Amino acid sequence: MASNYQKLLNMFDKLQQLKELKKMRDDAMRIQKALDEEVVEVEKHDVKIRVTLAQRFVSIETNGKSESDIVEAVNEAVKESQKEAAKKMQSMVGFEGLKGMFGGGGN
């Protein structure tokens, strides 16, 4: 009987972990959306750049001409660099370490 009870507790723990992961994901998505709603504009040397706080480039203009191909390439580069940074961080601290860094590691 204790074995069945332990299995039930383990199942409950796994459900709690999934619930925590979903909350972390939802929180991260909410933060990402909030960061993506705010835009910073910088103008220097006849180049105007608009970028969100989530590091998504909205526009790049040179001499008044929009450069949408450059915007697309820059956004792709940022996205790839973020993926590689996440892999590097995970390999350095592991998943449990990342959970702890973002407040999900304690019992």
Residue 7 pLDDT exceeds 50: yes
Residue 104 pLDDT exceeds 70: no
Q: Per-residue confidence at 97, pLDDT binned at 50, 70, 90? A: low
Side-chain half-sphere exposure of 2, counting CA atoms within 13 A: 0
How confident is the model at residue 107, as a pLDDT?
46
Residue 2 pLDDT exceeds 80: no
pLDDT in tens, 16-38: 888 888 888 888 888 888 888 88
How confident is the model at residue 106, as a pLDDT?
47
Q: Are residues 24 and 104 in contact, defined by beta-carbon separation less than 8 angstroms?
A: yes
How confident is the model at residue 63, as a pLDDT?
83
